[in-house]
Chain A
């Protein structure tokens, strides 16, 4: 199960840090940073005293950043440091214009998915110590870059909304305190699918989604799986869900490359879920496009 990661052309930017030193104020600050790091390193005499990160930079509005480039930062390394810690340090100490999304820093908000050393990962969940340096940190591929590491997520959200991502069971048990029953087995079956944090890593890693803008994509299909397999929804709505999924740009587009499964930070077996829905669709109403 090999994963093909294609780097978008826009990210093939000049990498020589010396080239930028003269032209960007950020680079000047970053030199200060390097000077500081040097002292830290001398004092500690520990190996791996700084983490060398190369961060993708782009801002459509600022002249010096309109041409995409990579900036180098040397960040004092501490045990347990994550990619997110490193970019936060670089931003707070060297260049406050360095832009990225982040919030919970514990792998539940899903906002800091980056392309780190050629793979989609959550910055907060990725240890610096596990990566080869210099560490290349880029925005998620196949999504429009808004600025630096921030990508436009609108298309991702639109696809999520396409599958009617909400529970649909109008026939509720009588009595306001009467719950619907769900077997432990059924909860177990949908459990992994409910863990999705909408980070967009899977969609970004999917070659099919990259080439077909209408393809629902692994996250949205997984969201549909979460409801289609929940025994609390009735058969009629399940069939309706399958009709959405077996449309031309639905489950059949998946070519089982497993890229989504490989990058999912919540270990959701996305590819398996898609295959299972294909089988369900065959059982219900075979329709190949």
Chain B
């Protein structure tokens, strides 16, 4: 058994920032990650970091844009925390040597992004995430923080009180991918989940193959609710063949979208008469698909993004990476022809419910970054707001887990007096089980007085048994088959456009996946670098997470942000200014709601119609 004060799971932007903060707060911290840190998906972020740095801009404008962009489903205390802290954290990165793009006077550059009232996106070419990830890993190396790389966290070790709000997380169970060894990692202070997004629930995604919602699923099964999971962002510009992302920076610099008739459809078809291509992402993604559905798409599949008029010099200075991506993955030279683009799954606005300090309702369990929902993005995340979220809330989670007092949070978590139960929705199918142990994550026979060590030992034992079983089983269904079916269902029915019937179909298919998973087996008998085993566990996580996305999409019968429902094309503020929460409850998802917090420090954000 390994022991540290703080265990950080995942080594992307949020995990590295949390680890540095916990270390600076005096904790003995370790990072456990299934990849090596520099392989994390934060490296694929392109656009930039929103921070009100310049004169004429201020954090209140940033907060306002973010609330509006969220379609009034962001919680104001979280949004204001983001906007206030982002400038200092962004400059902190500069102090750590981040190679930001520069102005003539040597100061960092900022550029316009969708939904922003001021050009406040700080960037490093079109590879901001790569630099952010590497700069933070450098700081981890500098501080000598312990990293267990290629250790896959399979489970949490949490006590088993009936009410999740009374439970405590004492550590994690992880699997050394290289050797096959399964060990417990005890955390005396706290566990910070920074495990990234669940993009692999969809088959056309900008996300890395490693983005399998592991943290979501583990926290969910340990009793922390998942919040606003229906809000999946579809980025308007991904390459059709692979899903590789073409940064919003292209439109920020002046790139134009055309349909197959050469029309600049954002204006000519009235989707966003003021902002055009720079309307927020949900608006542009729907516009593109409407063009394709109405027969004005190229090859009935995509639209064109043109940046040729920007000129080679500007493209090379600010968007060079985009030229390489278009060339390598689509065979298109962005200097001489427009690039094909279509919407692709990109980001999960929802996630593990946490407060401003990154804490879940389970004691000692924290989450930060894309796997968490604070919530700052609400119904729709603005481009350039994911990276500040990583550094601002990664830092807060790390500090709090290390014992720093950050004050009483305004956001509540877990089931409580302030929530409203969902009682009306009839599910098309009973949820059903997946795999061997529907209660994994909670020490089943622990009892309320069990000691931390005992809880951890039992969690390790149950994980070992589960792995033995999967490897010893000789025949059955393979994970790849189930995963492909799940991804297809989500893309077919829980995509940019949704209907109640479609979502019900998806839920039925997810149920089938659960049943098939009962018979899953691992063909590779080896203990050495068994990716077959790892992906089998990941697939289980994807099933649980996909189900919460579909359940959220089913109950929220309104049109808000990225969640478009055909039956109800109105944003229903009277009934739906509230967060969707889904709690595991021994394998039966229970759904409840908590009101959104619109009261900020100095003002209340009044919901208005979003026009761009």
Contact = CB atoms under 8 A, between A and B. Distances in A.
A233 B129 CA distance: 22
Contacts of B87: 177
B102 A197 contact: no
Contacts of A198: 36, 38
B182 to A, nearest CB: 16
Which residue of B40, B328, B330, B522 has the most chain A CB atoms within 10 A of its CB atom?
B328
B94 A180 contact: yes
Contacts of A232: 97
Contacts of B130: 108, 195, 197
Interface stretch (A5-13, A14-22, A186-194, A254-262): A186-194
Interface stretch (A58-66, A69-77, A277-285): A58-66
A46 to B, nearest CB: 17
A176 B19 CA distance: 21
Contacts of B142: 164, 166
Contacts of A183: 102, 106
A60 B101 CA distance: 47
A80 B329 contact: yes
B38 A178 contact: no
A191 B38 CA distance: 18
B91 A146 contact: no
B95 A172 contact: yes
B43 A197 contact: yes
A133 interface: no
Contacts of B36: 111, 153, 157, 198
B529 A146 contact: yes
A102 B138 contact: no
Contacts of B95: 169, 172, 179-180
Interface in A158-216: 161, 164-167, 169, 172, 176-184, 187, 190-191, 194-195, 197-198
Contacts of B35: 103, 109, 111
Contact of A195 (B39, B104, B127, B209): B127
B97 A227 contact: yes
Given A99-B529, A106-B245, A161-B141, A177 B91 contact: yes
A246 to B, nearest CB: 22
Contacts of B103: 184
Nearest to B106: A181
Contacts of B43: 104, 108-109, 197
B40 A109 contact: yes
Contacts of A60: 528
Contacts of A105: 208-209, 242, 244
A96 B480 contact: yes
Interface in B465-497: 478-480, 484
Contact of B209 (A80, A102, A157): A102
A61 B35 CA distance: 22
A160 to B, nearest CB: 9
B131 interface: yes
Given A177-B87, A232-B97, A109 B208 contact: yes
B111 to A, nearest CB: 15
Interface string B88-131: 10011011110111111111100000000000000001010111
Interface in B316-331: 324-325, 328-331
Which residue of B40, B141, B527, B528 has the most chain A CB atoms within 10 A of its CB atom?
B528
Given A105-B209, A108-B44, A109-B43, A179 B107 contact: yes
B290 interface: no
Which residue of B102, B125, B142, B241 has the most chain A CB atoms within 10 A of its CB atom?
B102
Contact of A62 (B94, B244, B484, B526): B526
A264 interface: no
Given A62-B525, A184-B102, A125 B328 contact: yes
Main secondary structure on A side of the interface with B: loop
Contacts of B107: 179, 181
Contact of B532 (A62, A96, A103): A96
Contacts of B530: 97, 99
B88 A176 contact: yes
A102 B200 CA distance: 14
Contacts of A191: 99, 125
Given A61-B527, A96-B480, A105-B208, A197 B38 contact: yes
A167 B135 contact: yes
Which residue of A92, A100, A161 has the most chain B CB atoms within 10 A of its CB atom?
A92
B127 A108 contact: yes
Contacts of A62: 525-526
A187 B131 CA distance: 13
A283 B329 CA distance: 44
A107 interface: yes
B91 A176 contact: yes
A51 to B, nearest CB: 16
B131 A179 contact: no
A228 interface: no
Contacts of B324: 107
A242 interface: no
Nearest to A107: B328
A80 B125 CA distance: 26
Contacts of A102: 209
A103 B331 contact: no
B81 interface: no
Contacts of B131: 194
Contacts of A176: 88, 91-92
Interface in B117-175: 125, 127, 129-131, 134-135, 138-139, 141-142
A156 to B, nearest CB: 10
B569 interface: no
Contacts of B528: 59-61, 146-147
A150 interface: yes
Contacts of B579: none
B139 A166 contact: yes
A187 B480 CA distance: 44
Contact of B242 (A99, A106, A146): A106
B447 to A, nearest CB: 38
A107 B127 CA distance: 12
A187 B529 contact: no
Nearest to A64: B525
Interface string B37-76: 0111101100000000100000000000000000000000
B94 A179 contact: yes
A95 to B, nearest CB: 8
Contacts of A164: 142
Contact of B41 (A109, A167, A182, A194): A109
A218 interface: no
Given A105-B208, A182-B99, A187-B100, 12 more contacts: A96-B523, A97-B525, A99-B524, A99-B530, A103-B39, A106-B329, A109-B38, A161-B141, A178-B91, A181-B106, A195-B127, A198-B36
26 contacts: A60-B528, A95-B523, A96-B522, A97-B525, A97-B532, A103-B208, A105-B209, A105-B242, A106-B244, A108-B44, A109-B35, A147-B528, A161-B141, A166-B97, A167-B135, A172-B95, A179-B95, A179-B107, A181-B105, A181-B106, A181-B107, A184-B102, A184-B104, A187-B102, A191-B99, A197-B38
Interface of A: 59-62, 80, 91-93, 95-97, 99-111, 125, 146-148, 150, 153, 157, 161, 164-167, 169, 172, 176-184, 187, 190-191, 194-195, 197-198, 227, 230, 232-233
Closest 8 CB pairs of A and B: A167-B97, A181-B106, A97-B524, A166-B138, A166-B142, A92-B480, A109-B39, A104-B208
